[in-house]
Each structure stands twice: as structure tokens, then as C-alpha cells.
Amino acid sequence: MNPIILEKEDILNLLDFDEIIGVIEKSFVDFSTGKALMPTPQDIILEEFKGETHVKSAYVKGSKYYCIKIASGFYDNPKIGLNSSQGMMILIEAKTGLPKCILLEEGQLTDFRTAAAGAVAAKYLANKGSEKVLVVGTGIQAKLQVEFLLRIMPIKILFVWGRSEEKAKDYCKHLQTKSPALEIKIVKNMNEARNLAIDIIVTATPSRKPLVPKNVVEKGVHLNAIGADMPGKHELDANILSAAKVITDSTAQCSKSGELQHALSAGVMKVNDVHGELGEVISNNKKGRDDPEEITVFDSTGLGVQDLAIARYVFDKYCEVNKEN
């Protein structure tokens, strides 16, 4: 039997952001409770094309399927009219190894599950009722992080920083269209972001040098560190992590590919200083935020189990709509 092939447009018509948040929340628990079989990700770096490709895979014990995902970021693509994110997911029957569904999602599902992960982290780690957000970055993920956060937090003011003022303005126009009631302001440099009583900072760039200095991070701030997902990527001053309660998606992955790698190499943290993984917080095995004034950091590198969860979600929705088994 040939696998079902779903194009991007078919997939997007099946998605519900609120449902995705719930699906990704459960996947964190599956991982941290040891139910997931998740090999080490593979990275292919194509420097001459300003591109990178990640291969991730996962199986959850008891599931009918496992998933292999190929996701790419080619950062010059917008110059030729293409999205910077590309990729596909393959859902495979666990019992037989037969491909069940090929999702030609062009990186969209990776983008959505990553943004949903940020929302889940904020739900458990940010102060309740957070209203002010600073986003570092102006790309697809920086947009989606806010769109998903708006579903769980009463955000009123959004501050945006980007390397290009023109892209920052385009970002503001996009978000204003999506959320007309949201007040959006551009900050021209990180010094302008000081003393703004920011509740949540989101970093979503491919930077390889720290963009957020420690003096921007005030008491009570929660940070979603999204961009560092492979060796060398770096968005936060390492001293931010040493002064914070650090929660990872996977401590093993983050120690090699996330912001944690830099705190460890700088000697300002040890692996044992990590408070725990988000799945442990969700399942109440570890505490999240203890104090409204403490600083929390969610170090996100992306998990294969998240890809399995969202691929299975899309396939189940497709089967429900089309009455397939």
C-alpha cells in the first residue's frame, strides 16, 4: 500500500493552534518520563549557501508509528522568493516499517511545533498575566512565537529588535494585522530594552554570538531561548543562565546544541546546575517558577518526539476528515 502524501496546503487546513499546544505539551512528558526512543540528531551545514539541515527521529513506546523529520534553514531563500524553512516528515508504521504518510510540509510543522513549545514553556515558567514581551528576531519563528504566546498570555505590548530596521517594520506590520489590539514598538538596540518591565524575552535567530546582554534581564523575566539548536549557535550572554533557573527540553541535547553549551564551556555552569527538563515540570516531578522575582530560562533545541507528536496529530486529523483507518 502506497503512503498517503499530504501537501503543505492540505496540512495547513487541518491545523488548530490550541490543539497543537496540547499535543506538544504531552510530548514533553513522553520524553522526560522515558517513553521516547530518540536518537541523536544529525546536522548538515552548508556554509557556502548559508544553509543547514537537521535530521531528527523518534518513537514513543506503545505508539503505532515512528517519525523521521528533515528540516532545513536556508537564510538567503527570501531573496529568491522562497521560505527560509524547508523540510518534510515521514510517519512510519512501527510494526512493519512501512511508510504510512509523507508530509511535504516545507518546514511549517517544525515551525509550528517549535512555537507551541515556547507557549508551553511560558505557561509553566513565566509569571501569570505576563503582558510585555521582547522578541529578538524578525523571521518566521519570531512571528509564530508571538502568535502562539497570545493564546496563553494576555500580552498587551510587544517590543521587537532585529538586525534590519526594514525587516523589523515588516514584522510589526505582520503582527499588527494578526493582532490589531497589540501595541508594538521597535527597539533599535539592546540598551533601549533596559528598564521596560519586560515579562518575557523570546530569542529566535540563527546567531552565533550573544545578542541579549545580562543587563537587559530584570527580576521576574522568563526567557524562551529558541534559536540555538546546534553547536555554535548563541543568543544569550552565558551569565544570564548562571543567574537563572534553567529548564531544558533535553538537557543532553542542550549541553551540546543549546544555550547551555556556552554556559558550560565558559565554566559559569555545570550540568548539575540545570533545574530540570520541561517535561518534568509539566508532570510535577520538578517545580517550575517558585518566586515572581526569579529569572527562568527555557533552553529549546527541538525534540524528535515533538515531530512525531505533530505528524501523528496531522495524520489523525486527515483520517478523521476523510474517514480513513
69 is an active site residue: yes
Catalytic residue among 69, 100, 143, 245: 69
Q: In this structure, which long-range contacts are made by residues 30-34, counting pairs with CB atoms below 8 Å and at least 24 apart in sequence? A: 30/60, 30/279, 30/305, 30/309, 31/249, 31/250, 31/277, 31/279, 31/303, 31/305, 32/277, 32/278, 32/279, 32/280, 32/282, 32/283, 32/285, 33/279, 33/283
CA distance linking residue 54 with residue 49, whole number of Å = 15
**Which are the catalytic amino acids?**
69
